[in-house]
Structure 1
Amino acid sequence: MTGDAVQVLGPWTDQATITALAGGKARGLHTVHNGGFRVPEWVVLGTDVFDRFAAGAGLATAVTEFAALDDLEKSLAAGAALRADLVAADVPDPIREVIAEAYARLGAGSIAVRSSVLAEDGAQHSYAGQFDSFLNVNGPEAVLDRVRDCWVSAFSERSIRYSFAQRQPRAGAAAVVLQKLVAARASGVVCSANPITGAPDEVVVSAVYGLGEGLVSGAVDADSVIVEKSTGAVLETILGDKDRSYAPAADQGCLVREVEPEDRERPVLSAAELAELTKLARRLESDHGTPQDIEWAIDDTGIWVLQSRPITTAVRGGVDARWAAAVIQGAGETVPAGELRIWDNANIIESFSGLTSPLTYSTAAEIYGRVYDGYARSLRVRGRQLRQTEQWTPVLLGCFHGRVYYNLLHWYRMVGIAPGYRLNRKVLEVALGVEEPLADDIANTLRPFTFRTPVGRVWARTATTVRYLRRLFGIDDMVERFLADFYRVYDEYDARDYTEMSGAQAYQAYREVDRDLVARWGPLMVLDAILLTCTGALFVLTKLLLPKAPEWLGLTLVGPGADIESAEPARAMTALAERVGTDPDLTELVNSTPPHEVYGRLTEYPEFRAAVEDYLDRYGYRSLDELKLETPDLREDPASLFIMLRSTLATLRQHGRAGTDRRAEAEAYLDANLRGVRRRIFERLRGKVSRCAAHRERVRFCRTRAFGMVKRMIRAMGRDLVARELLDEFGDVFSLTVRELRGCYDGADPGDLRKLVTARKAQRAKDTELVAPPRFVTIGAGFGRAELAGQGWVPVTEIPAATAGTVLAGTPSAAGSASGGAVVVDEPCDIQGGILVAYRTDPGWVAALPSAAALVIERGSPLTHVAIVAREMGVPTVVQVKDVTKKVRTGMRLRVDGSAGTVTVLPGEGTGNGT
């Protein structure tokens, strides 16, 4: 110890003193060293050493005043003045002696000298890279110079700008760590959670040859490895361009050296070293209770921990921990160990295809939970049974790598709330488009709730059945009441101008609509249950009364009718195309002008512009992927309207829109094969199914309108968050979850939303490269990327194209046949009479139907919206054609048989002109 009040600190110092004087780096070293980890010898010169130096130089007051400044420009000027004064000041002998003592404690030789500011390496802000550190420092005078440089760096321009950007206090006094230099063969950083995506079960290791300064400075390229924390499986490896390494130089600095040719192509770390670093990361995270960013080095004796600090790029502040990770995996459900979950995208991709934003997914997942909770309550589920349903209704959906899935077993439980489970679950599998029906030994165990006594079960199920039967016979009136209430709310809120609203006003409107409409939707979900029951009963009755009936008969007979509201946009599009076709100049404009320019050019055609504006007034809330909040509707971006118009024009020019009248054929079949009492019974049930199907389409149309209205509200909030500097650009609002968005207006601390958005965007870019399997399973809660990869979550790979003569089997959906060139698309555009082949469709695709000779869908079911409309419009359709979008290429000639459910690859090529 030297001097009155200053002393060398180190591992022997008590925690309180280290916390008060030693700064962030030393604080972390003290914890790690005393936790039993291998740490190179170290000591620290506390902030009291700096204070004594500043006081002796007459700078104490200037340092205090600097720390109190709240103006950036004044702080920069004061910092520059302090740097100059600190460099010019003499270091008094007592301070020289304490620095020499600190160096001697390390046994002399080469050391590292690092700044250790009090605010550094904290839970909220790391100040990483803001203060100076020096490697390979040798000799008392060199150490003294580097200590002074560390003190000066506390007032550097970059640290001042950082503190203002992070709204943190100025650094002021700095402690300095002196640490024995490790003669490293390799070094780098290991993070116990993915600092880019926030994924908590991913350990990220960066490694370089030589000293880690080469990694930090960017002078050398690093290997990067992602390891699954729970299993140790290597998920991803990127080898750096290792032609150089960073090593100590003879002049007490560091230099870049060439790496031996044989080492350049091999990983820096062995498998054993990688496993040891993963174990180290797990232990340090467990000891600290939070994810850690760890600097390490390896020499001939093993791994050394050079530094450990909290990962501050992870989401903090008011963000709900359940949604903190950039990659939302699963449904947020606590799954008991060993318990099965089945994930199936079935016809959910009709609503949420491909990559879906966090805002859309979290909104949908929450609404599903609230709606089906309301459904259970409406059927008189009460008490203990209701509490049981509340365990699974919030997790009916899940999200993996940005794709939305049904949490399938819970949907079977939901079907079990209403009577007729055995029949309803079979129809559910058809309605959802599930390729693989659930095994009976599993399905029969999926109870929505259990009872303590048989008497209690009988009483409760009787009450539910009575309520269900009342709904069954009164469903027509129930739907009409719902529609009246819906349009009362919709007309009021849709008429408002959200472009003129503040974010708070838009949020208030959003909350009011959300509370009102979701509460009304729950009881109406009984309509889906009734449709399942009645459709299943009709299929059974058809098999009994008409055992030799063709397979297409049932689907043709139960359609909602050609006048359904949801088919109106397609008919209106055909009418627009017919109008354009009568004017050669207008036809040329639509066909030759880029779609995003057509609307502006219509001033030359005022009557047609008025017709387009009428279309936008009536159907402007629609869009492709219309249930995705991130997708602009036609009012915001009318370009897609003209894409559809161009395609429809081509079809009308080639062969018109003469659909196959299979309904008349079905009626004739019934007249010839079913009469008398049996026919009356059949027609009564058939009428019920058709009315329910029509009701369902009307209600779904209401959902589309509601989402269109909510999009306008969210856009107002997105613009407001940019104005408040919480987000960088409007589109970033869709990278938030609905809870995070609400927190911005409900008074919660939103945290650093910019970092969150950046992390989620980075993960989304990676997710685009993955194939999303239609179905996979997880066991318990411990699943990760390695397990998912084993079930089909792999980078996109080429699947050989189908050859001529190949017959791809699917499910018949709309009768009739057509031949033509395949047009494989992920959005409906320029079909021009070809065979439209898509992985999935959503209700926004109905505008493309007039321009398609036939429709082939890889995923979906005969009861999805577009399939129903296709039947009404006479477009031959086959759904559930496995891998068709991978095996069929645009231009191949196909023959689609919507009655047999087959797609045949024909010799030759064609790009449209379906016949």
Structure 2
Amino acid sequence: MQVLGPWSDSVVIDELAGGKARGLYGVQSSGVRVPEWVVLGRDVYDGFLGEGGLSTAVAEFAEIADVEQAVVRAGELRAELVAAPVPEVVRELIATAGARLGDGPIAVRSSMLAEDGAGNSYAGQFDTYLNVRGVPAIVERVRDCWASAFSERAVRYAFARKLPRAAAPAVLLQRLVAARASGVVFTANPATGARDEAVISAVYGLGEGLVSGAVDADSVIVDKVSGAMLEVVLGDKDSRYDPAGEQGWEVREVEAEARGQAVLTDAELAELTEIGRKLESHCGAPQDIEWAIDDIGIWVLQSRPITTLGAAAPLGRTVELRGAGEEIPAGELRIWDNSNIIESFSGVTSPLTYTTAADIYGRVYRGYAASLGVPDEQQRQTDAWTSVLLGSFHSRVYYNLLHWYRMVGIAPGYPLNRKVLEAALGVDEPLADDIAKTLRPFVFRSRTARLRSRAITTAIYVRRLRGIDAMVEQFVTEFYRVYDEYDALDYTELTGEQAYAAYRTVDRDLVERWGPLMVLDAILLTLTGAVFLLTKLFLPKAPEWFLYAVVGPGADVESADPARAMTELAQLVRADPELTTLINSSAPEQIYAELQNSDRTEFLSRVNDYINLYGYRSLDELKLETPDLREDPASLFVMLRSASGRVGDAATASRSAEADAYLDANLRGPRRRIYERLRAKASRCAAHRERLRFCRTRAFGMVKRMIRVMGRDLVARGVLDEFADVFYLTNSEMRGCYEGEDTTTLRALVAARKVLRAKDSALVAPARFRTLGPALGRAELAEQGWVPLTTTAAATVGTVLTGTPSAAGIVEGPAVVVDEPRDVAGGILVAYRTDPGWVAALPSATALVIERGSPLTHVAIVARELGVPTVVQVKDAATRLRTGMRIRVDGINGTVTVLSEGDQPDETL
């Protein structure tokens, strides 16, 4: 037996000194300041057991298989250890160890062999004693540390993790720092998993009050690269811990002048951040570091791996999904724009939805390139950007915009198509020509190879343009063959494995078929651009609203059917006073059950018909976490309540009729025939696109049902705690649950992402921002507008907000600002964004004002067909307008004007 310390050989330290001492040994070797320490190795403990005749009893205890029996026996052993005399040879060794630390107070701490390991920390399981003075006291506290290996909490911890029990604890003796302040540094954010952030907690005095929870600490999140403080929370400083008393600390009042101040100075925060970076690099993993500050400076008391973070790292899992997952070269520009992507994935979006969508986008556009005859070498080049067409920041989904310009470049007509793309996406700022011209989807070895490939692609593109009608019909037929087969399954009877097998089959089948159909989007861009150019040539004085009204899918477009069906349901409600009362006064989530228990079988049958036909339609219908109407019909009654207030009041004439009237008055002869032929082709393609969007919505609805089976199965298997947790997994993590991957870390991963989601929801999401290079940390994002939500001043009377006219007409009325289509009866619906699920609410709105989106989005198209005046891309509309404000919506000129309460409607409207 011998006293070990910094002078000992590293092999001996690893074998005998235990986890805490092993960590300190590594810290000191890195050059970081550590208080003087020594350690009594596990051989000293073995000697104590042998002299006391306890070795056999401890060995037998380690073999007990039942946890309750082990807890009882551990209590008996602990009492025996505390009562056993410490042999003289061991006392002398302890005295020698204490003498190395001088006459001042010391800390006596356990140092189990497995403690502070990469997989298990044993945090708080064994005893620590502070302010210990004199050999007799040190001897007693060393024995107490040995006995703490048999505490109930330690035994249960070991059983829960299938770890060895009473595995020869060493004991660490360390000079006690007379701390002015102390705390912990996590070199990665333990709540979110962010590796580029350090979290520093600090209290006055010693840190035992921090770890026990008795003192409210300051908490600072620091960007490890820039050193910027990302978040500062000052704790309650009514009291602090100072070394005194039997346990080494006592509560004392904090001086009044210090109560509102931060514990640490900026310089101390910077130094702690640097120490954290240094130790993380030295140890090769994120660290949990205990520290203290006295008159000399900062001392590191302990450093150990962050176990909850390290468990996920080997599987390549990250808590926060930031960026698009691509390696962006230093200094290279990326533009992130939410445009009309928020029509599909609005607000905070789950990891499962984002990663599923990103995966589908990548595979679909890879298939699109192949379908246009792009050579294999160039197809492989597209893999670098088709897989990252979407990005995620603070749980919001964005277009990785430059890659979308690359995608448009696959088909011929890039100069025209990219301009129409900007209108289709609804981007506020067109891309500069000098950047746009550099965004090639791929490169060739020679000019000859490029020309040959372009000729082949153009020939295929022209052939697809001519035959697009038949191509769409064939796809729709095949789609519904697959859809009908899997929609008819009884999902209540499927096992998780069966649901996953169905999911993989449907995913593979539909994505493979969908790729070639992306040519429709390119064709629609080309045709719409051609119509716009021809309009400027033949009708140079045409108003802006005409440009969007002249090309539409037609009044009988399938995507308007839910709105028409909702209107019919609303008519039934309005004609029945008792039914009106039920719909308007009952909680939406209770109405369906009340109808089932009533004698209104005919109306219930109509509601069921609606759900059977359009049950996949819901608010945020492409977000996998949002239940559809079949799972939760409550939102149907929210929309019905709004629609029933205005049945028959909204104009129903299609705006295409107004476009026809304008053409009749201004364009005739051969030019009219040329124009109509091009217009008809563009309108058919717009109708095809709406049909495919309907198919997409149905497909997502079908996938939702499969994922819900898997979610419940994962709960039953004990992989997840509750059904909704499945949406906090990525697509690859969900698949891994059925492909034999390790699932033991998923609970911790889900818990961290839930914390992250709560923080993300409190941030403003800018509509568009830019990044340079790989730096996508919180500090860089904050500079781009990702800041906590702030109150925006309301617009005053006379304020004119401008946007893009989307559906003609002028309406005055009260604004109803909503985040979902509810309570808008008789008002002007104002929203930050909409999604296809909002179309059923359109009959209830006199007009529509959308902050984000474009005239070519789903809801804007249907609004035109239903005759609802609409203005889109109205900056700050959802924050500056307030519910109840009287406003005028001019869908001709694209303006929204705030009126005074006394303004009378313009009789000419």
Judged with a 3 Å threshold, the aligned counterparts in structure 2 of structure 1 residues 127 and 638 are, in CA distance, closer, same or farther, namely same
* Aligned counterpart, 1:728: 721
* Aligned counterpart, 2:818: 825
- Say if 2:101 is the partner of 1:117: no
**Is contact 2:814-2:886 (8 Å) kept?**
yes
Judged with a 3 Å threshold, the aligned counterparts in structure 2 of structure 1 residues 315 and 404 are, in CA distance, closer, same or farther, namely farther
Judged with a 3 Å threshold, the aligned counterparts in structure 2 of structure 1 residues 318 and 745 are, in CA distance, closer, same or farther, namely farther
Where 1:22 maps in the other structure, the secondary structure is helix
* Aligned counterpart, 2:266: 271
* Aligned counterpart, 2:509: 516
- Say if 2:347 is the partner of 1:347: no
Q: 1:433 aligns with which of 419, 426, 436?
A: 426
More deviation, 589-598/330-339: 589-598
* TM-fit CA distance, 1:209: 1.1
Amino acid at match of 1:731: A
* TM-fit CA distance, 1:96: 1.6
- Say if 2:140 is the partner of 1:148: no
* Aligned counterpart, 1:50: 45
Question: In 1, distance between residues paired with 2:790 and 2:416?
Answer: 40
Q: 1:406 aligns with which of 399, 403, 415?
A: 399
* Aligned counterpart, 1:198: 193
Amino acid at match of 1:324: T
**Is contact 1:621-1:633 (8 Å) kept?**
yes
Which consecutive unaligned segments of at least 5 residues does structure 1 have? 1-5
Post-superposition Cα deviations, 1:28-47, rounded to whole Å, max 9, x if no partner, equal 11111122221111111112
Q: 1:314 aligns with which of 305, 309, 312?
A: 309
* TM-fit CA distance, 1:717: 1.1
Question: In 1, distance between residues paired with 2:706 and 2:555?
Answer: 33
- Say if 2:668 is the partner of 1:675: yes
- Say if 2:877 is the partner of 1:884: yes
Matches within 5 A, 1:64-75: 64-75=59-70
* Aligned counterpart, 2:636: 641
Q: Number of paired residues? A: 906
**Is contact 1:624-1:827 (8 Å) kept?**
yes
* TM-fit CA distance, 1:668: 2.1
**Is contact 2:830-2:848 (8 Å) kept?**
yes
- Say if 2:295 is the partner of 1:295: no
* Aligned counterpart, 1:17: 12
- Say if 2:132 is the partner of 1:134: no
Judged with a 3 Å threshold, the aligned counterparts in structure 2 of structure 1 residues 815 and 250 are, in CA distance, closer, same or farther, namely closer
Where 1:390 maps in the other structure, the secondary structure is helix
Q: 2:606 aligns with which of 605, 611, 626?
A: 611
Amino acid at match of 1:631: T
Amino acid at match of 1:751: T
* TM-fit CA distance, 1:378: 1.1
* Aligned counterpart, 1:419: 412
Question: In 1, distance between residues paired with 2:334 and 2:39?
Answer: 53
- Say if 2:528 is the partner of 1:535: yes
Where 1:313 maps in the other structure, the secondary structure is helix
* Aligned counterpart, 2:706: 713
Amino acid at match of 1:450: V
More deviation, 43-52/888-897: 43-52
* TM-fit CA distance, 1:75: 2.0
* TM-fit CA distance, 1:463: 1.4
Amino acid at match of 2:83: A
* Aligned counterpart, 1:223: 218
* Aligned counterpart, 1:324: 318
**Is contact 2:312-2:749 (8 Å) kept?**
no
Question: In 1, distance between residues paired with 2:130 and 2:450?
Answer: 74
Post-superposition Cα deviations, 1:576-624, rounded to whole Å, max 9, x if no partner, equal 1112222222222112221111111213201111111111111111210
Amino acid at match of 2:327: T
More deviation, 425-434/556-565: 556-565
- Say if 2:488 is the partner of 1:495: yes
Question: In 2, distance between residues paired with 1:717 and 1:124?
Answer: 29
Where 1:395 maps in the other structure, the secondary structure is coil
* TM-fit CA distance, 1:250: 5.6
- Say if 2:345 is the partner of 1:383: no
Where 1:314 maps in the other structure, the secondary structure is helix
Where 1:907 maps in the other structure, the secondary structure is coil
Question: In 2, distance between residues paired with 1:241 and 1:400?
Answer: 32
Q: 1:459 aligns with which of 452, 455, 463?
A: 452
- Say if 2:356 is the partner of 1:363: yes
Question: In 2, distance between residues paired with 1:661 and 1:9?
Answer: 88
Amino acid at match of 1:299: D
* TM-fit CA distance, 1:763: 1.2
* Aligned counterpart, 1:582: 575
* TM-fit CA distance, 1:388: 1.5
Q: 1:27 aligns with which of 22, 26, 38?
A: 22
* TM-fit CA distance, 1:684: 1.2
Judged with a 3 Å threshold, the aligned counterparts in structure 2 of structure 1 residues 29 and 374 are, in CA distance, closer, same or farther, namely same
Amino acid at match of 2:277: R
Where 2:290 maps in the other structure, the secondary structure is strand
More deviation, 842-851/312-321: 312-321
Q: Percent of aligned positions with the same letter in both sequences? A: 70
Where 1:294 maps in the other structure, the secondary structure is strand
Amino acid at match of 1:217: S
Amino acid at match of 1:205: I
Which consecutive unaligned segments of at least 5 residues does structure 2 have? none
Amino acid at match of 1:727: L
Matches within 5 A, 1:163-178: 163-178=158-173
* TM-fit CA distance, 1:171: 4.1
Question: In 1, distance between residues paired with 2:166 and 2:365?
Answer: 54
**Is contact 2:654-2:864 (8 Å) kept?**
no
Matches within 5 A, 1:790-805: 790-805=783-798
Runs of 4+ in 1 over 6 A off after TM superposition: none
Amino acid at match of 2:659: A
Amino acid at match of 1:282: R
* Aligned counterpart, 1:867: 860
* TM-fit CA distance, 1:251: 4.9
* TM-fit CA distance, 1:909: 8.1
Question: In 2, distance between residues paired with 1:119 and 1:528?
Answer: 60
Q: 2:443 aligns with which of 446, 450, 455?
A: 450
* TM-fit CA distance, 1:657: 3.2
Question: In 2, distance between residues paired with 1:522 and 1:896?
Answer: 40
TM-score normalised by structure 2 residue count = 0.98
**Is contact 1:320-1:739 (8 Å) kept?**
no
Amino acid at match of 1:227: V
* Aligned counterpart, 1:3: none
**Is contact 1:315-1:324 (8 Å) kept?**
no
Amino acid at match of 1:668: A
Where 2:645 maps in the other structure, the secondary structure is helix
Question: In 2, distance between residues paired with 1:909 and 1:651?
Answer: 24
More deviation, 633-642/74-83: 74-83
Question: In 1, distance between residues paired with 2:503 and 2:9?
Answer: 54
Question: In 1, distance between residues paired with 2:152 and 2:489?
Answer: 49
Judged with a 3 Å threshold, the aligned counterparts in structure 2 of structure 1 residues 613 and 203 are, in CA distance, closer, same or farther, namely same
- Say if 2:760 is the partner of 1:772: no
**Is contact 1:318-1:748 (8 Å) kept?**
no
* TM-fit CA distance, 1:559: 0.7
Where 1:651 maps in the other structure, the secondary structure is coil
**Backbone CA RMSD of aligned residues:** 1.8
* TM-fit CA distance, 1:478: 1.1
Post-superposition Cα deviations, 1:40-85, rounded to whole Å, max 9, x if no partner, equal 1111111222122223322222322332333321221222222122
Question: In 2, distance between residues paired with 1:358 and 1:876?
Answer: 36
More deviation, 813-822/67-76: 67-76
Question: In 1, distance between residues paired with 2:416 and 2:158?
Answer: 65
Q: 1:84 aligns with which of 79, 93, 99?
A: 79
Q: 1:237 aligns with which of 232, 237, 242?
A: 232
Q: 1:783 aligns with which of 770, 776, 789?
A: 776
* Aligned counterpart, 1:157: 152
**Is contact 2:655-2:865 (8 Å) kept?**
no
* TM-fit CA distance, 1:436: 0.4
